[in-house]
Amino acid sequence: MTSPFDKPTIESRLSVRGVKWHRDASDIIPLWLADQDYPICPELKQALREAVEEEYTVYASDLPAREAMKEKIKRYNSIDVPVDQIMLTQGVIPGMWLAAKHACRPGDEMIVTDPMYFPFFTIADVTQVRKVYWKLKLDEGYKFDIDRLNDLITPKTKLINVCNPHNPAGRVMTKEELKGIADIAVDNQIYVMVDELWEDILNDGRKHVSLASLNPEIADLTLTSWGFSKTWSVPGLQAGYLACTNKTMFESIQAISQGILRGTNNFSKAIAPVICGGKADYWVRDLNKYLQEVRDLVTKRLTEMGDITVPHLEGTYLMFPKFNYGLTSVELNKVLMKEAKVSLNQGAVFGPEGDGHMRILTATSKNIMNEALDRIESIIPTLEKMK
Ligand SMILES: Cc1ncc(COP(=O)(O)O)c(C=O)c1O
């Protein structure tokens, strides 16, 4: 039987709605947005069907969803958080803003990594907090250098933003790296916002460790967030949580959100028990197995086709290769779009360290991926000439 992950074709993807496949012309293969090409699992489809049949569109409590989340957070993340200290959010991004509003005042400083998922930078800008770059270096395997972080801390540092697994570096933090962050945060009493959206997209048998599970002291300073978007192929439903063991901090976050954020939709609430209850975990296992095969395929082909450095993808389905042709990512993007007919993400949007890189989504079928790679390979002579 064909794997559901192997089924997508260019034609089948063009036949459904969605910004990824329809932003650009139809002859372009889109591997820019972090949106899977895979179907949603049957259990989720069934729960959604039932919610529609029931006309579950009334005002509804979010308690069953939060109870399911509490169990998941205890089982998977080893954090024991009271159910009334879990907030249902529209995805993960509102949590970044709430964390900044809680922890910082205009003129304060927040730590962001460079590179990093760029909405963290936007949040710094809109909250008038100065972003301080914690550099992650390609030639160091994107290790999280704790001494480098320590050197950035000043009396104005109020928030450390952590993305683990990391978009776009593809790293899964080691326990030692997390412990290093925890020690600095606790010693200096700095809040930490942890975006764990990719926590279950892991390669090579890696295990996810949540920062807040390390000890009660760091848990007290940490806001942990997760959402359904990336694992379950439902980014259009916009659902996630913000959780924290510190009641005072949680109440402050609630007060800031009052009247602005109103949880999420009932369809997301309806699938929360399925997602968090573990019954569909087989799907995540199969997904990770397939994704790892695609990662290996992309790593091999990119490395062999030209002067391209491919960081090892430990987690997420976003690869961040560097094209060593002396071009900026804006210039690379132009050639890739015009001549290869492939749209990727420009590395520089993820911070200065990302320039010369392109981010490639790997959550597609091998068939689509091979076609995209053939197209990328075809422009290597052009890139050589531009060197
Ligand atoms: C690290 C990270 N955080 C947050 C988001 C946003 O997710 P959502 O739309 O569920 O808020 C993304 C989306 O790709 C992401 O990669």
- Which atom of ligand 1 is nearest the CA belonging to 240? 10
Q: Give the tokens for residue 361.
A: 């989504």
Q: What is the mean pLDDT of residues 1-29?
A: 96
Same domain as 38, residue 64: no
- Nearest CA residue ID for atom 16, ligand 1: 167
Atom of ligand 1 nearest to the CA of 318: 16
Range 3-9 average pLDDT = 96
Q: Are residues 149 and 291 in the same domain?
A: no
Together in a domain, 258 and 139: yes
Does 23 reside within a domain? yes
Q: Is 351 exposed, middle or buried (0-12, 13-18, 19+ CB in 10 A)?
A: buried
Is any atom of ligand 1 closer than 6 Å to the C-beta of 240?
yes
Residue 34 DSSP one-character state: S
At 328, list the tokens: 């900026």
Where among 251, 277, 303 does a domain terminate? Answer: 277
Are 30 and 91 members of one domain? no
12 alpha carbon – ligand 1 mean position (Å): 25
Q: Which residue is closest in CA terms to ligand 1's atom 8? A: 91
112 lines ligand 1 (CB under 6 A): no
Q: What is the pLDDT of residue 387?
A: 84
What average pLDDT does range 104-110 have in this prediction? 97
Same domain? For 361 and 379 the reply is yes
**Bond prior to 168 in cis (omega within 30° of 0):** yes
- Which pair of tokens denotes residue 386? 């531009």
Inside any domain, residue 314: yes
Nearest ligand 1 atom to alpha carbon 92? 11
Q: Is the pLDDT of residue 43 over 90?
A: yes
Candidate from 19, 197, 261 with most ligand 1 atoms within 8 A of CB, to mutate = 197
Judge whether 52 lies within some domain: no
Label residues 282-298 b or e (16+ Cβ within 10 Å = b). ebbeebbebbbebbeeb
pLDDT > 90 fraction of the chain, expressed in percent and rounded: 98
Q: Is any ligand 1 atom within 6 A of the Cβ of residue 104?
A: no
Q: Which of 32, 89, 92 to mutate to test the pocket of ligand 1 (most atoms within 8 A of CB)?
A: 92
Q: Which atom of ligand 1 is nearest to the CA of 94?
A: 11
In this prediction, residue 289 carries a pLDDT of: 98
CATH of the domain at 264: 3.40.640.10
Instruction: Quick: pLDDT tens for 164-208.
Output: 999 999 999 999 999 999 999 999 999 999 999 999 999 999 999
Q: How confident is the model at residue 281 (pLDDT cuts 50, 70, 90)?
A: very high
- At 24, the amino acid letter reads D
The residue length of the chain stands at 387
Q: 271 and 357: one domain?
A: no
Work out the mean pLDDT of the chain and round it to a whole number.
97
Q: What is the whole-number distance in angstroms between the Cα of residue 223 and the centre of ligand 1?
A: 16
Does the residue 1 lie in any domain?
A: no
Distance 376 CA to ligand 1 centre (A): 26
Give tens-digit pLDDT for 81-90. Answer: 999 999 999 9
| Residue-range definition of the domain harbouring residue 224 | 59-277
* Residue 66 within any structural domain of the chain: yes
Ligand 1, atom 14, residue with closest C-alpha: 34
Sheet with 109-114, strands from edge to edge, namely 86-89, 240-243, 222-227, 191-195, 157-163, 109-114, 130-135
Residue 28 sits in the same domain as residue 133 = no
Atom nearest to 228 CA in ligand 1: 10
Residue 35 CB less than 6 A away from ligand 1: no
Tell me, using a 6 A CB cutoff, whether residue 167 lines ligand 1: yes
Indicate which atom in ligand 1 lies nearest the CA of residue 166.
1
When pLDDT is cut at 50, 70 and 90, the band that residue 372 belongs to is very high
What pairing do the DSSP bridges indicate for beta strands 358-361 and 322-323? unpaired
- Say yes or no: 235 and 90 in one domain: yes
User: Which CATH number is 295's domain given?
Assistant: 3.90.1150.10
Query: Ligand 1 pocket, 117 CB below 6 A?
Result: yes
315 part of a folded domain: yes
| DSSP label of 39 | P
**286 and 253 in one domain?**
no
Q: From ligand 1's centre to the CA of 381, what distance in Å? A: 35
78 and 192 share one domain = yes
Domain termination site, one of 249, 277, 305 = 277
Q: Which of 194, 239, 233, 208 is nearest to 62 (CA)?
A: 239
Tell me, yes or no, whether 3 lies in a domain.
Answer: no
pLDDT of residue 149: 98
> Average pLDDT for residues 240-267, to the nearest whole number?
96
Residue 87 lies in a domain: yes
Name the band, by pLDDT with cuts 50, 70 and 90, for residue 310: very high
Identify whether residues 269 and 349 lie together within a single domain: no
Determine how many CB atoms are found less than 10 A away from the CB of residue 179. Answer: 17
Given 253, 277, 301, which residue is the final one in a domain? 277
* Structural domain count of the chain: 2
- Which residues, in sequence order, are CB contacts of 155 under 8 Å at separation 6+? none
Pocket test for ligand 1, best of 89, 93, 173 (most atoms within 8 A of CB): 93
- Are 24 and 117 part of one and the same domain? no
Whole-number Å distance between alpha carbons of 184 and 223: 16
Query: Whole-angstrom Cα distance, residue 105 to residue 121?
Result: 16
Residue 8: per-residue pLDDT: 97
- Residues 117-155: tens digit of each pLDDT: 999 999 999 999 999 999 999 999 999 999 999 999 999
Pocket mutation for ligand 1, best pick of 122, 229, 317, 345 (most atoms within 8 Å of C-beta): 229
Report residue 322's pLDDT band, with 50, 70 and 90 as the boundaries: very high
> Residue 1's pLDDT is what?
76
Q: What's residue 2's pLDDT?
A: 85
Does 277 have pLDDT greater than 80?
A: yes
168 lines ligand 1 (CB under 6 A): no
